Structure formats: C-alpha cells, structure tokens
Amino acid sequence: MMPPEQETTIAPISTRPENGSEPDGSTTNKIKPSNLDDNGIPSHHHPQPTPPPPPPFTILHQSLRPVTLKFEDVSYSITFESQKKGCVLRKESKLTRKVLSGVTGIAKPGELTAMLGPSGSGKTTLLTALAGRLTGKVSGTITYNGQSNTSLMKRRIGFVSQDDVLYPHLTVVETLTYTALLRLPKSLSKEEKIEHAENVIMELGLTRCRNSPVGGCMALFRGISGGERKRVSIGQEMLVNPSLLFLDEPTSGLDSTTAQLIVSALRGLARAGRTVLTTIHQPSSRLYRMFDKVIVLSDGYPIYSGHADRVMDYLGSVGYVPAFNFVNPADFLLDLANGIVADVKHDDQIDHHEDQASVKQSLISSFKKNLYPSLKEEIQQINNDQVIFASGTPRRSDNQWTTSWWEQFKVLLKRGLQERRHESFSGLRIFQVLSVSILSGLLWWHSDHSHVQDQVGLLFFFSIFWGFFPLFNAIFAFPLERPMLIKERSSGMYHLSSYYVARMVGDLPMELVLPTIFVTITYWMGGLKPSLVTFVLTLLIMLFNVLVSQGIGLALGAILMDVKQATTLASVTMLVFLLAGGYYIQEMPSFIGWLKYISFSHYCYKLLVGVQYEGNEVYECGPGLHCRIRDFPAIKCLGLDNNMWLDVAALTIMFIGYRVVAYLALRMGQPR
C-alpha cells in the first residue's frame, strides 16, 4: 500500500475574499490538512516520495469564494424506450434504469477529489449532477455552501467535459483570449484580461502551440494534440476563477507526464481555495497520491467516499487486505468495484469463491454501515456551522453579468468572424458563385425584350437560386454551434440575445457580398434592362430575398437542431415555394392557391418582374405587332398592377418573423 504524502502546506495564493469576510457563509476558507480523520477510520502514514510541487498559479488572486459541496443520497434514473418484437407489431415499452443510488459525500475548498469506478459505474453522471447540469430529475440533496444551485452559483462553477467543446478554427491564444474577454469581470481592463489569458497559456505549457488552430474531429482537420486540447479546455475554466471546478476524465488518452502535469495543475488550483472534483480512469499510484479524497462507485452505488489516504485502511477494516505490499490503491479499488478479489489476501472473512455480485454487495453494505453515518454526521455539522455563517442575500454585483451586453456582442462578433473566416470567403464558395453567375450570364447572353419568356425565366432563377443557397447555409449555423452554445451558456458567459445578434450581423458580409457579385455579373451579361436604377432595385430585392431565406434556414436549424432533419424539411419547403412561386404554374386550383402567399420566392419574383418592366413597356408579339409586356401571359398572372409595397411588406414580415421564431426556438432549447 502506498498512501499519499501528508499535505500540510498551502500555496501562497490568498483564498479569502478581498474584504476578508465570507459572504457565502462558507464554513471555512482555511485549507484543512488531509491527515485529519473525519470518518473515524484509522490512519497510518508512511514516509513517501513527494510528487513535484504544483505549478505556481499567478492568475486571478482576487475574490475567490470558497464553496463547500455536500451531496446526500444522490440518486438518478434514466428512462429509455425498448423495442420488443411482437407477433405483428413492435411493441415499445419504457424501461427505467438506476444509474446512481444513494451517493453521499463532501468536497471542501482546497481539496482535490477523484471519482473512481469501472466504466459505466456512473462517474460522469454523478459529476454532471453535482455540477447542476444533469437534465432530468436528480433525487437527494446537493448544496453549495448550504444553498441549492442558483444562477449566481452557475457562474462560479467551471465544468470541463470529457469531449473538448472548442471552436476548431480558432487558435489556442484566440480561444483563451476570447474566453477571458467574455468571462472575466468588468473591473479588469482589456489588457489585464489578455494578460490573464497569456498567463494561463504559460502555466499550462501551451506556449509552443499558442498560434496553432485547435482543430478536432468535428472540423475534419487536425489541430493541436488531444492533451493540448484538454489543457485549453481546462485553461478556459481556470480563467473564470471558479470556486468549484468539475472535470470529466481530464487525463484520459494522455501520457503519464502530461497527466501528471494536469493533475498537479488541478491540485494547485485546489490549494488556492477551490473545490476541485474530477473523474479519472485508472490513475497510476503516482497520480492517485495527488488526490485528497476519492469517491468510488460500483454500479452507481458508493463503496467509498472519504480521504484518499485512508482507503486502504478502510478496506482492510472491512476485510479486504491486499495480498502484496506494493499495490496501486486505484487498481485495488477498481478490482473491488468490479467485484474481483483476486489480489485480496486470504482471510477468514472473505470467501474467495464469492461471485462478483456478492463482493460488490458486501462493499455497498459496508459503506452504508461504516462510512455513511459519519458522512451524514459531518454534513449535519457543516450545515449547523453554515447557519451561523450564512450571509443573507447575495451582493448586488453578484447577480450581474461579468460583461455588458454591448461588450459581449463585440467580442462574439469578432470571434464569430474569426472562427468562420475560412468558410466566409472560401475559394470554393467564390468559385461556386462565380461559375454559376458566368454560366447563367452565358446562357441568357444579351436576351432582350423579344425574348420576354427567357428574361422572366432569368428573374425567377435569381429568386430561386438565392432562395436555396442562403437557406441551406443557414441551416447549419445553430446545430453545429449547439455544443459550444450550451457549454458557454451553462456557465452564464453571455446573453443569448448578444450571441444571436452577433451571429446575424457576422453572417451579413458573406451573405450579402456573394449575391451582389452574382447579380452584377448575371444582370449585365443576361441583357436585363440597362438602367442603373433598375439594376440597384433588382440588387436590393435580391439581398432582401437572401435575408428572408437565411431567416427560414436559421429557424429550421434552431427548431430541429438536427442538420439532417432540417435539410430534409428545407428541401421540401423550398420545392413547394419553387412550384408555388408563380413561374411554373400560372393558374393554381383555388384550394391550394394560397401556397404562393407563404412563398417568399413568389414575392421576390413579383418584385423583380415589377421593377424590370414598367407599365407601358411593349415587346414585339408578332410581325409588326407590339403588345404591353405586362400583358404577357407569364407576367399578367402575377398581378403587377396591385400595390407592390404589399409584397415588400410581406417580405418584411417574413424577414422579422423567421428571425423571431429562430430566437425563441433557441431560447427554449437553452439553459436559462
């Protein structure tokens, strides 16, 4: 057995709030040495080699509010549908599975807690529940300084998920700088925020890759390595100076040196007054020694919750003594959590022929009998202390956003432009638009009034091409950014409205420049009316059409949040709008004729034709015969003599309406 070293030193970073008081009513902000026994388990220490000291964290010394996390009898079940094959039909029945059962524990400021357990034992679920991010009903009590999760608390919690949720096209320095600008308080200047980001880069050893794009599997290109990406995710959370930091398997897939670097960084963060909890897979004994507390789960049940250095003594006290002198406590624990007793010393108490289920059951019962009562007692004791220290209502400034709406908008706009710079004016997109515009210009080369049908066809093509193109681009916007949006909104980083408006505005240059190029080329090559006023009006109508179509795409993407479903629905919708646009069918049956009124392509096409042909313009409808263009069958049925401002009004309503729908759909699918 190799117990952890005795930890009695405290990193030189102040853990007290600036004013020295404890506004949250936390019971303590002193770091308790981990050799004190709260569980009543005997402890025997042996001299051990000391692991490297945690790196000196220089950032964010100010206003740390220590948080004590207590959780009591936390249970969680999932319900899922199972399909059973009946004689004729597949029957669907709802099944419920308990993922967590009666997990209890305490994590205090200054402590680094590890959650251990076999794969599928519920570590991630517990971590997510403790961070207040689990959707669904969690039973039991989870409190932070004696209070339940509030929006104020949300901003004090940092959460690093197992999958790194990062913008792939931003570089390391950009990622951390934007996070600093969005998450650090108003009281710091921009330069100070940037300096904090630089410090994090240095302290997490990311200097070498600071200008490399983050990359990732979603981006289909490789950026920095997995370990570096993980460190960027941790750095993002470090920047917010969280009181409570949760990490889901921060070391998985990393070499032992990098894993050591990360855990030692976490320990440094804990020692500066934070409460840090992390799930971990199979830590080496070197890593294990760096944790203050461990919570061990077996099939969702706790089998140990307490000080890491006392686990072997505890297991020994309930009859599970390792057969060898030098055993990694984590390996021994994981074996037991799996119900395997191969490395357990032969003892009268233990039947080595017991099946795995009985071993697990015995450990679960031992926990309930030996550890649970003392944990409950400790929780009760802290509750009593917190009543004494509780500090009424939070300070006003606590409830405010860290940055103003306008500041958030500016940073998000800049970040969005940088993240999408590769796609905005990508060579491929420019080629696509240029080639289609030149090809259509050649196909309609210098068409004139003697070919009214062709010209009308070109105008309809304008409205349809620039209906499809922006719509399908916009569909991807929200579903692809959803993980980032959820992550950032969960930590109260910005208003949804500032994100939304920044996204809309950020997309404008690309959305407007490409159709402008297209219309300019095709209009003049295609021989449409050689009048500057008509050209400008045509261009304005097209740009308006693009914005409306983009709105539909955004709304579909935000409602369905699934690219496949949204593109399928969009293709059906656009097909309906195309057919009902008024070009292909001039006389629609009245019971379905209303369709054209919901088709933005119809209004756009009508406006394009309206500005192209004035009231009394004529064309040669036969040898020596001149007819009014507006009487041409394909044009007459559009009803151009009606007030065209009604068409503009219809497009305006759609422009605003689809955007409002997109915003509301996003709001409903978002935390807060």
Ligand X SMILES: Nc1ncnc2c1ncn2[C@@H]1O[C@H](COP(=O)(O)OP(=O)(O)OP(=O)(O)O)[C@@H](O)[C@H]1O
Under the rule (CB under 6 A), what is the footprint of ligand X?
Answer: 78, 80, 99, 117, 119-125
Backbone angles phi and psi of 69, in degrees to 5: -100, 125
**Pick from 370, 490, 390: nearest CA to 104:** 370
Question: Three-class SS of residue 307?
Answer: strand
Rounded CA-CA distance 139/485 in Å is 27
Tokens of 316: 């020994």
Q: Considering the complex, what minimum distance in angstroms separates the CB of residue 345 from ligand X? A: 28
Report in angstroms how near the CB of residue 368 gets to ligand X at its nearest. 21
Q: Is 316 exposed, middle or buried (0-12, 13-18, 19+ CB in 10 A)?
A: middle
**What residues have CB less than 8 Å from 191, skipping those under 6 apart?**
none
Nearer to ligand X, 167 or 291 (CB): 291
- CB closer to ligand X out of 21 and 139: 139
Give whichever of 52 and 120 is closer to ligand X, judged by the CB atom: 120
Closer to ligand X at the Cβ: 299 or 511? 299
Min dist. Cβ of residue 344 to ligand X (A): 23
Alpha-carbon distances, residue 560 vs 328, 501, 547, 567, 659 (angstroms): 48, 20, 20, 10, 15
Q: At residue 81, what are phi and psi to the nearest 5 degrees?
A: -95, 135
Output the smallest distance, CB 669 to ligand X, in A.
17
Identity of residue 357: A
Q: Tell me which H or E stretch contains 131.
A: none
What is the spatial distance between Cα 370 and Cα 71, in angstroms, rounded to a whole number?
Answer: 18
How would you label 132-148 residue by residue, b for 16+ Cβ within 10 Å and e otherwise?
Answer: bbbeeebebebbbbbee
Q: Shortest gap between Cβ of 320 and ligand X (angstroms)?
A: 21
Which residue, 282 or 374, has its beta carbon nearer to ligand X?
282
State how far the Cα of 233 lies from the Cα of 241, in Å rounded to an integer. Answer: 14
State in angstroms the smallest separation of the CB of 496 from ligand X: 25
Given a contact cutoff of 8 angstroms between Cβ atoms, the answer to whether 31 and 289 are in contact is no
Query: Nearest-CA neighbor of 104 among 130, 79, 78?
Result: 130
Which of 538, 526, 541 has the alpha carbon at shortest distance from 449? Answer: 526
Q: How far is the CB of 62 from ligand X (least distance, A)?
A: 34
**What amino acid is encoded at 350 in this protein?**
I
Amino acid at 660: V
For the chain, what percentages of helix, strand and coil (3-state, to nearest 5) are there? 50, 15, 35
Name the residue nearer to ligand X (CB basis): 124 or 149: 124
CB nearer to ligand X: pick between 140 and 185: 140
- C-beta of 78 vs 660, nearer to ligand X: 78
Least separation in angstroms between CB 229 and ligand X: 18
From the CB of 3, what's the least distance to ligand X, in Å? 25
DSSP string, 397-440: GGGS-SS-HHHHHHHHHHHHHHHTHHHHT-HHHHHHHHHHHHHH
* Nearest by Cα to 63 from 150, 187, 159, 147: 187
Closest approach of Cβ 105 to ligand X, in Å?
16
Shorter beta-carbon distance to ligand X: residue 123 or 231: 123
Provide the minimum distance between the beta carbon of 80 and ligand X in the complex, in angstroms, as a whole number.
Answer: 6
Dihedral sign, Cα of residue 373, residue 374, residue 376, residue 377: positive
We find the least distance from the C-beta atom of residue 439 to ligand X, in angstroms, to be 49
Q: Which is nearer to ligand X, 254 or 574 (CB)?
A: 254
Tokens of 50: 């000391």
115: three-class secondary structure by DSSP: strand
Alpha carbon distance 228, 261 (integer Å): 11
Nearer to ligand X, 129 or 261 (CB): 129
As a whole number of angstroms, the distance between CA 456 and CA 634 comes to 8
CB of residue 123 to ligand X, shortest distance in Å: 4
Contact 447, 458 (CB under 8 A): yes
- Beta strand 293-298 with 301-307 is antiparallel
Phi-psi region of 168 (alpha: psi -120 to 50; beta: other; left: phi over 0): alpha
Beta carbon of residue 563, minimum distance to ligand X (angstroms, whole number): 21
Residue 277 and residue 69 in contact, taking contact as beta carbons nearer than 8 Å: yes
The nearer residue to ligand X, 11 or 99, going by C-beta atoms, is 99
Closer CB to ligand X, residue 65 or residue 123?
A: 123
**Closest by CA position to 104, among listed 39, 157, 44:** 39
- Nearer Cβ to ligand X (48/124): 124
Distance in Å, CB of 283 to ligand X, minimum: 13
Cβ 333 to ligand X shortest distance, Å = 14
280 vs 359, beta carbon nearer ligand X: 280
Nearest to 472 by CA among 554, 374, 592: 554
Q: Using the minimum distance from each CB to ligand X, give the nearer residue, 249 or 378.
A: 249
d(CA 628, CA 626): 7
Residue 106 tokens, joined: 């305490």
